[in-house]
Amino acid sequence: MSLRSPIGRVLGHGAAGEGVGHWWSQRVSSVALVILGLWFVSALLRLDDLNFALVTAWMAKPVNAVLLVLLVGTSVYHSQLGVQVVIEDYIAGKGTKLVVMLIVKFLHFALGALGIFAILKIAFGAGA
Amino acid sequence: MNSTSKHPRPLSPFLIYRWQYTNTLSILNRVTGLALTVGFFLFVYWLVAAASGEETYATAQRFFAHPIIKLALYVFSFAFFYHLVNGVRHLVWDTGHGLERASARTSGWVAFIGSVVLTVFFWILVANVGGAA
């Protein structure tokens, strides 16, 4: 005999009230990162040198630029989901948890925006 | 608060279970994930330096050539490969496969040794190309 209300069971959100949303997002982004991560490593190894001219020319190529943007975006997304769980696990105080969570989330978004902007600047700058 | 003494609360698994290498590998997944979050700062620094022009990029190259940063890059690369391989192991588990004790232990060894091999292989390739970092 379940103590859960029928509507609670139908919504399937469980005790945390959020369902599997967070868990699922973590998996989806991880699959994407397997692909993007392997691409990045192999691309890095295929570069003869990491000097300024070669690296910026490589980043400016449309496919590379788009994959890099996806890599940065998916990485920060996956990372903030992961760090969130670590914070939830180890920080008990509600106030501290909230503050640390805000700092971590803001930092992730700022880092992601910075990275993506840098890639786009190189990509769009190269054509001009 | 008072109920604690009357009814002992259940303990977390890590307080009552014997330490095993499989749980070390599990924790290592989290540790490498956090390491990658830190390492991501360096990645973004590299991107921003490249976008800021030749001089800034030269400064970044000197920064990445520093022995301590170089050591950090070795650590981050291992973290990358371990988190990648062990992440795939977790994805396989999520499908309900490979959870038996024997296969979980075998895949644990494969993940750890595999990521060490990949890390070494990566830096050998880097050295031969004469490129990265």
Class of domain A24-127: mainly alpha
DSSP characters over A3-39: -S-HHHHHHT-TTTTSTTHHHHHHHHHHHHHHHHHHH
Which positions ≥6 away from B85 have C-beta within 8 Å? Answer: B110, B111, B114, B115, B118
Residue whose structure tokens are 């750890």? B112
Task: Tell me the pLDDT of chain A averaged across its residues.
Answer: 92
Average pLDDT over residues A99-117: 97
pLDDT digits (tens, 9 = 90+) for A52-71: 999 999 999 999 999 999 99
DSSP characters over A61-113: SHHHHHHHHHHHHHHHHHHHHHHHHHHHHH---HHHHHHHHHHHHHHHHHHHH
pLDDT digits (tens, 9 = 90+) for B54-101: 999 999 999 999 999 999 999 999 999 999 999 999 999 999 999 999
pLDDT digits (tens, 9 = 90+) for B108-130: 999 999 999 999 999 999 988 75
- Name every chain A residue with its beta carbon within 8 A of the beta carbon of B30: 82, 86
pLDDT of residue B5: 63
Number of residues written out for chain A: 128
Q: How confident is the model at residue B7 (pLDDT cuts 50, 70, 90)?
A: confident
Burial, A76: exposed, middle or buried (Cβ in 10 Å; 0-12, 13-18, 19+)? buried
DSSP conformation class of B101: H
Domain boundaries, chain A: 24-127
- Name every chain A residue with its beta carbon within 8 A of the beta carbon of B84: 33-34, 37-38
CATH architecture of the domain B19-129 equals Up-down Bundle (1.20)
Q: State how far the Cα of B91 lies from the Cα of B89, in Å rounded to an integer.
A: 5
| Chain B residues whose C-beta sits inside 8 Å of any chain A C-beta | 30, 33-34, 36-37, 40-41, 43-44, 47-48, 50-52, 54, 57-58, 61, 80, 84, 87-88, 90-91, 94, 122, 125-126, 129-133
Residue A72 has a CB neighbour count (10 Å cut-off) of 24
Is A111 in contact with B132 (Cβ distance < 8 A)? no
Is A37 in contact with B47 (Cβ distance < 8 A)? no
pLDDT of residue B125: 93
- The amino acid at residue B124 is I
